[in-house]
Amino acid sequence: IDLEKLKYVDSIGVLLESLSSLPQVRIADPASMAAKMRQMVAAGNKKLLVISDFDFTLSRYANESGERLSTTHGVFDDNAARVDPELGKKFDELRMKYYPIEFDPKLTVEEKIPHMEAWWGTSHGYIVQSGFTRAMIEDFVRKSRVVLRDGASELMQSMEAVGTPLVIFSAGIGNVIEIFLRQKLGSVPRNVHFISNMILFDSNDKACAFSEPLIHTFCKNSSVIQKEASFFHQIAGRSNVILMGDSMGDIHMDVGVEKDGPTLRIGFYNGDVNDEASLDHYMAAYDIVLVHDSTMNVPQRIFDLVSK
Contact set with ligand MG7 (CB under 6 A): 55, 71, 73-74, 77, 94-95, 99, 102, 119-120, 123, 170-172, 217, 247
Is 53 considered catalytic here? yes
Subset of residues 145 to 164 that bind Mg ion, contact rule: CB under 5 A: none
Is 55 considered catalytic here? yes
Strand 199-201 with 207-210, pairing = antiparallel
- Active-site pick, 10, 53, 139, 304: 53
Beta carbon nearer to ligand MG7, 112 or 265: 112
Binding test (CB under 5 A) with Mg ion, winner from 47, 51, 55, 180: 55
* Of 26, 49, 14, 19, nearest in space to 268 by CA: 26
Q: How far is the CB of 180 from ligand MG7 (least distance, A)?
A: 13
19 to 48: interface string for Mg ion, x by CB under 5 A:
------------------------------
Q: How far is the CB of 79 from ligand MG7 (least distance, A)?
A: 11
User: Per CB under 5 A, does 293 bind Mg ion?
Assistant: no
* Calpha distance 169→251 (Å, rounded): 11
- Active-site pick, 2, 29, 55, 84: 55
Q: How far is the CB of 299 from Mg ion (least distance, A)?
A: 15
HEC string of the chain equals CCHHHHHHHHHHHHHHHHHHCCCCEECCCHHHHHHHHHHHHHHCHHHEEEEECHHHHHECCECCCCCECCCCCHHHHHHHHHHCHHHHHHHHHHHHHHHHHHCCCCCCHHHHHHHHHHHHHHHHHHHHHHCCEHHHHHHHHHCCCCCECECHHHHHHHHHHHCCCEEEEEEEEHHHHHHHHHHHHCCCCCCEEEEEECEEECCCCEEEEECCCCCCHHHCCHHHCHHHHHHHHHCCCCCEEEEEECCHHHCCCCCCCCCCCCEEEEEEECCCCCCHHHHHHHHHHCCEEEECCCECHHHHHHHHHHHC
Subset of residues 229 to 248 that bind Mg ion, contact rule: CB under 5 A: 246-247
Beta carbon nearer to ligand MG7, 197 or 240: 197
Beta carbon nearer to ligand MG7, 94 or 159: 94
Q: How far is the CB of 228 from Mg ion (least distance, A)?
A: 19
Q: How far is the CB of 74 from ligand MG7 (least distance, A)?
A: 3
Beta carbon nearer to ligand MG7, 245 or 261: 245
Binding test (CB under 5 A) with Mg ion, winner from 56, 120, 194, 210: 56
Residues with a known catalytic role: 53, 55
Interface residues with Mg ion (CB under 5 A) are 53, 55-56, 246-247
